[in-house]
Amino acid sequence: MQLQSTIAESMHKVEQPTSEAGMGREQALLRLAVSDYLTLTKPRIIALLLVTTFVPMFLAGNEPPSLALVFWTLLGGFLAAGGANTINQYVDRDIDYVMVRTRRRPLPSGRLTPQQVLAFGIALSLLSVLQLWWTVNPLTALLALAGILYYVIFYTGILKRTSTQNIVIGGGAGAIPPLVGWAAVANELSLLPIFLFMIVFYWTPPHFWALALMRRKEYRAAGVPMLPVLVGERPTHLQILLYSVLLLLISLAPVFLGMFGPVYLVCALILNGLFLWDAVAIWRVPSNGHVWRLYKYSLLYLALLFLAMGIDHLFYTMPAAALSPSFRLPF
Ligand code: HEM
Ligand SMILES: CC(C)=CCC/C(C)=C/CC/C(C)=C/COP(=O)(O)OP(=O)(O)O
């Protein structure tokens, strides 16, 4: 509140700049505001979400997508995820205020008001759906809308505060971007994008529980029923191991259905082998070092696995049968 009133005072002072110093202060405040609004979108997380949107665009067609289609799809994806992330911070403002990791965010630190954050989040979300509908196609726009609603209402509004399985079920929201990328090109969904969805779905629990293990006390203080808070460390280590095995199986399955070729197979074996190695290390010698390593590696893993899919596609042509059955909107 103190910071908020300091900024309000500064804003008042620069309303009528009388000198170069006044103009400089006005520019500095504008930069601060732009940086706060950008922070609300969680840009680093969006960067990885967009990798999982971008690569499927190359898998979905026989030819590479046009630059314009890539631009509009990624812009829509940025606006949708940015809008969802912003509304998440409006809904979670009480939790974010309690947790050390999140208390410096623009809303809990008082640099923006709840009304400003909510308005910005809704505006970005609406803009994303309209823009995708007009510039890409209705299926892509509806998938983005489903992602926003799933994340904001189902995960943030309900599951996060009520269930230890919050991020298992809620992980479905973060798995929608590959469907968005695929639908942007194919204008339909089929089995391969469902596998891409499942890869991100099974990746999410080890990715998040590693972080939650390190932030266990903060989640407890905020009253958020994350798995490590309610069942303890050991069962969480086991769940991480279990999901790492499931991730290995689900990421290899498309190879056996003829959807990917040898380049992907080799990369997926190495990347999943390292993932499993980290998960086993946590199980055998539980330490913050091992947990942190898995969390950091999980980010690299997902980017590289999707990159491997794209490179594999340059050398391997999947049979048409691998893409059926398919789902298409009736309009
Ligand atoms: C329900 C699903 C998910 C949950 C609960 C979750 C949770 C988190 C949390 C709490 C952080 C720490 C953020 C911070 O330090 O401020 C994080 C980091 C991150 N997450 Fe996730 N995540 C999920 C899904 C995803 C997905 C689907 C992606 C991308 C495909 C992703 C990408 C990232 C990235 C890139 C970071 C690092 C951000 C940074 O270093 O600033 N997450 N995640
Ligand atoms: C297509 C589309 C728009 C899909 C939505 C994808 C999306 C925005 C996923 C976000 C995943 C994520 C960062 C969850 C963390 O929430 P948290 O509240 O647990 O994290 P926090 O404590 O850091 O706020």
In percent, the amount of the chain with pLDDT more than 70 equals: 94
299 lines ligand 1 (CB under 6 A): yes
Assign 327 a pLDDT band (cuts: 50, 70, 90).
confident
* Nearest ligand atom owner, CA of 172: 1
Q: Of all protein residues, whose CA lies closest to atom 7 belonging to ligand 1?
A: 208
* Nearest ligand atom owner, CA of 96: 2
Position 18 scores a pLDDT of 55
- Residue 60's alpha-carbon distances to 70, 81, 254, 313, in angstroms, are 13, 22, 14, 10
Q: What is the pLDDT of residues 166-212, one digit of tens each?
A: 999 999 999 999 999 999 999 999 999 999 999 999 999 999 999 99
In percent, the amount of the chain with pLDDT more than 90 equals: 86
Residue 162, pLDDT > 70, answer yes
Q: What is the pLDDT of residues 8-20, one digit of tens each?
A: 443 433 444 456 6
What's the predicted TM-score (pTM) here? 0.92
Residue 122, Cβ neighbours under 10 Å: how many?
A: 16
